[in-house]
Chains A and B, each alone.
Chain A
Amino acid sequence: MRPINEMTLTFPARSVNEGFARLSAAAFAAQLDPTMDELGDIKTVISEAVTNCIVHAYPDALGSVRMRCRIYPDGRFEASVSDGGVGIADIEKAREPMFSTGGAERSGMGFTIMESFADSFTVRSRPGKGTTVRFTKRISPRAKR
């Protein structure tokens, strides 16, 4: 199915851009007329995905994050968030609840939150090459609400 509309943003992996990314994704998703809960879910998943790039992908340098959002005629919102960073050696481990390499200030719940808030969610990563997470969120048609 071809998207109705799409957008791509590239920005430096700075923490100040976490808010920018989720607000941009929410503004784009607004074309599908989502409910507040649906919009909250999208912002939450985007925030987790972008934070992972910022906290984990580039330990020694300031890299960039690419966020691509698409909307489809059947009411699906789809986004992918990619970095060209260190990658994840063991994705299964990274997805375990409470597992974190980020220290006591991180909960280790990022992947758990993404999985529970998205309708579908995939992670692809190659050590040394980078990581891409992709998710979809179905926006309910207004007539059915």
Chain B
Amino acid sequence: MDVKIERLRESLKISLKGELDEHAARGVLLRFGELESQALPARCVLDLSALGFTDSSGIAVLLGLERRVRDAGGELSVVNIPSQARRVFDAAGLSRIMRFE
């Protein structure tokens, strides 16, 4: 799975490309760990337009990222969620916890 992290002027954009399962989640969490030491912009956008598949591993990845951004005083928006991923996230009630656009 490809993880792209872009620093824009006043926001951080993270894009995931490929299939997110337990195998891929390890690498994604490692990349997110790199964000720990850096100052995070107040707005963080997770773009899932190129996410080909996710299972419940994606739920843990989103919850972990949301917590990290919130702890840094920011807000996470999840954008361009494909229908398969949306069904998985809805089954876990994630839209009640974080912002889906």
Contact = CB atoms under 8 A, between A and B. Distances in A.
Question: Which of under 10, 10 to 19, 20 to 34, or 35 or more describes the interface residues of B?
Answer: 20 to 34
Which DSSP category, helix, strand, loop or mixed, fits chain A's interface?
A: helix
Interface stretch (B2-10, B40-48, B53-61, B70-78): B53-61
Contacts of B91: 109, 112-113, 116-117
Contact of B84 (A40, A51, A109, A112): A40
Interface residues of A, number: 27
Given A43-B53, A44-B84, A109-B59, A54 B22 contact: yes
B29 A113 contact: no
- Most chain-B CB neighbours within 10 Å: which of A44, A51, A106, A117? A44
A44 B55 contact: yes
A19 B23 contact: yes
Interface of B: 19, 21-23, 25-26, 29, 53, 55-57, 59-60, 63-64, 83-84, 87-88, 91-92
